Amino acid sequence: MNKAVTICARDLAAQASRGASAGLSKALGDDTRFRLLRRLEQEPELSQREMSSELGLSPGAVNYVPRALVEKAR
């Protein structure tokens, strides 16, 4: 597994559990964001389409969550 991807996924999941996702869209609940980030941590090579299908989310929502957390962390 790519070390940079693993570190990024771990950091994103940690930020979500600390509440860094508070400013994200109200349409996605904390549980949904956490499940998405946890799944990304477990299998970072999943495509957005595969993840959206697994979690029952739109591909746009799957794209939005990690991008918003990265932006918030800057």
Structural domain boundaries, residue 21: 3-73
So what's the pLDDT on residue 32? 86
So what's the pLDDT on residue 12? 57
The domain tally of the chain equals: 1
C-alpha–C-alpha distance, residues 43 and 9, integer Å: 9
Could you tell me which residues come within 8 angstroms of residue 70 by beta carbon, excluding any fewer than 6 positions away?
A: 12
Report helix angle 30-42 to 48-55, nearest 10: 130
- Answer yes or no: pTM beyond 0.75: no
Tell me the pLDDT of the chain (74 aa) as tens digits.
Answer: 445 454 555 555 555 544 444 444 555 788 888 888 899 899 989 999 999 999 998 888 888 888 888 888 88
Contact 41, 10 (CB under 8 A): yes
- Supply 65's token pair: 């969550």
